[in-house]
Structure 1
Amino acid sequence: MPEEPFQLAVIVGSVRDGRFGPTIANWITDQARRHGGWNIDVIDLAEIDLPMGPPGFGGTPTPAATRALRTLTPRLEAAEAFIVVTPEYNHSFPASLKSAIDWHNRQWHTKPIAFVSYGGISGGLRAVEQLRLVFAELHAVTIRDTVSFQHARGKFDKDGKPTDPSGCTTAAKIMIDQLAWWARTLRDGRRTYPYTP
């Protein structure tokens, strides 16, 4: 019997005007489709009006936050794996992404997370290193290999295609192969042994 496809959420982390994230998200989504084995849901945080910063312990979400969570939470819950597309802002990742992470908890548990980053000379890798610490606290598994773009706007043509696809396409395949391995392993684990954080 063929294996059931994995539910993959590609999260576009930046919500700034003029952001480049959707271009990179479209590219990595295409790479995942070519890989096969995924049902893909692209979650663009700019389309979800989630307030910055969750309520404190015992706090009640505002009506606006409740509406946003009705959109976002089931999609995160359904995902069996994630690719987070993040820029680097001031040596870290965007507040919009932190807010989306912090409004949730068990939705991240025992799920693999891969990263595609972009930025200046660092290619967004400092944002990724900080995200690894955050997701470890949420019982998620981060994938070792990443895809990163230094000075990303200069690496894509007007149609959103990499101008030199060989390196990034190879990196994407390695990362997605690892993500698929972890998605399969963790799915089997969740089905066999209940996870108690």
Structure 2
Amino acid sequence: MTSPVLHTLICSTRPGRIGPSVAEWAHSQAQAHGGFESKLVDLASFNLPVFDEPEHPRLGRYAHEHTRAWSASVAAADAFLFVLPEYNFAPPGSLVNALNYLVKEWNYKPVGFVSYGGISGGVRSVQVTKGLLTTLKVVSMLEAVAIINAGEQLKAEGGLNANPINGQAAKAMLDELLRWTNALKPLRAS
């Protein structure tokens, strides 16, 4: 039996972002977990403009190559790990825009969160994102990782020196994410 596919998604696309460092750490946690075939995906690599498809995404008739590439990526995953910052108490506009591009590709897939930011650790961003995901039939995990004062945990040579408690939280989240991924498999197949 093959392992389910988990996409760890770097949700920020802005220049100078620390998302890739946080995502590398999250991706390494997923690989160490061993329950998934884990892939690191950078939302910036899709170069999605503000939603520009002429038809509603529920129809799946995409006019643009960037949409088809994004659709194929999301469709290939069984589960997601969103690595996202908090901008003005909300998720980055790049993630909201990317969610709006697709409908059916998201259905019946679970998502875990690794958020980062200042003292709140990005948790307000996660809460807003969860509301958006319900309309796409995505199941959000309760268990999550919130990296508080993430800038202070960056290594000078690159990467993240996460607090050990974040590793414990990641394991709990990935365990639950795997349960939901397997439970939702029949719905994704139909």
* Aligned mate of 2:37, from 36, 39, 48: 39
Distance 1:58 1:23, change over 3 A: closer
Identity of aligned residues (%): 34
Distance 1:189 1:106, change over 3 A: closer
| 2:88 is the alignment partner of 1:90 | yes
Q: Which residue of 1 aligns with 2:141?
A: 143
**Alpha-carbon RMSD:** 1.7
- Give the partner amino acid of 2:176: Q
Shift of 1:58: 5.0
Aligned length: 184
Deviations 1:26-57 (A, max 9, x none): 00100000011322222211111111234465
Q: Which residue of 1 aligns with 2:26?
A: 28
- For residues 44 and 161 of structure 1, what CA distance do their matches in structure 2 show? 17
SS of structure 2 residue aligned to 1:85: strand
- Give the partner amino acid of 2:79: A
Deviations 1:44-93 (A, max 9, x none): 1111111123446559xxxxx71212221111001100001110001101
Which has the higher mean CA deviation after the structures are superposed, 135-144 or 33-42?
33-42
Q: Is the 8 A contact 1:52 1:95 kept in 2?
A: no
- For residues 38 and 45 of structure 2, what CA distance do their matches in structure 1 show? 17
Report the TM-score when normalising by structure 2: 0.90
Q: Which residue of 2 aligns with 1:75?
A: 73
SS of structure 2 residue aligned to 1:129: helix
Q: Is the 8 A contact 2:115 2:123 kept in 1?
A: yes
Question: Which has the higher Rg, Structure 1 or Structure 2?
Answer: 1
Q: Which residue of 2 aligns with 1:161?
A: 160
Q: Which residue of 2 aligns with 1:12?
A: 10
Distance 1:74 1:58, change over 3 A: closer
Deviations 1:125-171 (A, max 9, x none): 0110001100011111000011011210102323413253x201100
Report the TM-score when normalising by structure 1: 0.87
Question: Which structure 2 segments of 5+ residues have no match?
Answer: 58-62
| 2:118 is the alignment partner of 1:120 | yes
- Give the partner amino acid of 2:77: A
SS of structure 1 residue aligned to 2:64: helix
- For residues 131 and 189 of structure 1, what CA distance do their matches in structure 2 show? 22
Q: Is the 8 A contact 2:147 2:162 kept in 1?
A: no
